[in-house]
Amino acid sequence: MLNNKNLLITGGTGSFGSAFIEKVSKIYKPKKIIIFSRDELKQSEMQKKIKKSEIKKFRFFIGDVRDKERVHTALKEVDVVIHAAALKQVDAAEYNPLEAVKTNIIGAENIISASISNNVEKIIALSTDKACSPINLYGATKLVSDKLFISANNVKGKTKCKFSVLRYGNVMGSRGSVIPLFLQQKKNNEILTITDLEMTRFSLTIDDGINFAIKTLGMMTGGEIFVPKIPSYKMVDLITAIGIKYKIIGMRPGEKKHEDLISVSDALQALETEKFYIISPNTKVAPWEKNKFMKHNKLKKLNYVKKGFSYSSSNNKNFLSAGQIKNLIKKNLK
Question: pLDDT tens digits, residue range 1-27?
Answer: 799 999 999 999 998 999 999 999 889
In sequence order, what are the residues at sequence separation of 6 or more whose Cβ sits closer than 8 angstroms to the Cβ of residue 74? 8, 34, 36, 61, 63, 114
User: Given pLDDT bands bounded at 50, 70 and 90, which one contains residue 332?
Assistant: confident
More confident residue, 51 or 80: 80
194: enclosing H helix or E strand: strand 192-194
**Type of residue numbered 72:** H
With beta carbons less than 8 A apart as the criterion, state whether 275 and 229 touch. Answer: yes
- Residue 142, pLDDT above cutoff 80: yes
Domains of the chain plus CATH, in order, are: 6-170+206-230+261-312 (3.40.50.720)
Q: What is the pTM of this model?
A: 0.94
Predicted pLDDT at 84? 96
User: Given pLDDT bands bounded at 50, 70 and 90, which one contains residue 178?
Assistant: confident
**Type of residue numbered 25:** S
With beta carbons less than 8 A apart as the criterion, state whether 254 and 90 touch. Answer: yes
Assess whether 48 carries a catalytic annotation: no
8: enclosing H helix or E strand: strand 6-10
In sequence order, what are the residues at sequence separation of 6 or more whose Cβ sits closer than 8 angstroms to the Cβ of residue 100? 87, 92, 93, 137, 138, 141
Predicted pLDDT at 187? 86
Residue of 143, 164, 140 lying closest to 152 (CA atoms): 164
Rg of the chain in Å (alpha carbons): 20
Dihedral, CA of residue 100, residue 106, residue 112 and residue 115, to nearest 10:
-100
Predicted pLDDT at 175? 67
- How confident is the model over 221-246, as pLDDT tens digits? 999 999 999 999 999 999 999 887 88
Across the chain, what does the average pLDDT equal? 92
Half-sphere exposure of 74 (CA within 13 A, CB side): 34
More confident residue, 193 or 198: 198
With beta carbons less than 8 A apart as the criterion, state whether 164 and 220 touch. Answer: yes
Active-site pick, 88, 122, 130, 142: 130
Residue 36 phi/psi, 5-degree rounding, is -110, 115
Q: Residues 175-199: what's their mean pLDDT?
A: 84
Predicted pLDDT at 287? 74
% the chain with pLDDT above 70? 98
- Residue 285, pLDDT above cutoff 70: no
- Residue 290, pLDDT above cutoff 70: yes
Region for 147 from its dihedrals, namely left if φ exceeds 0, alpha if ψ lies in -120 to 50, beta otherwise? alpha
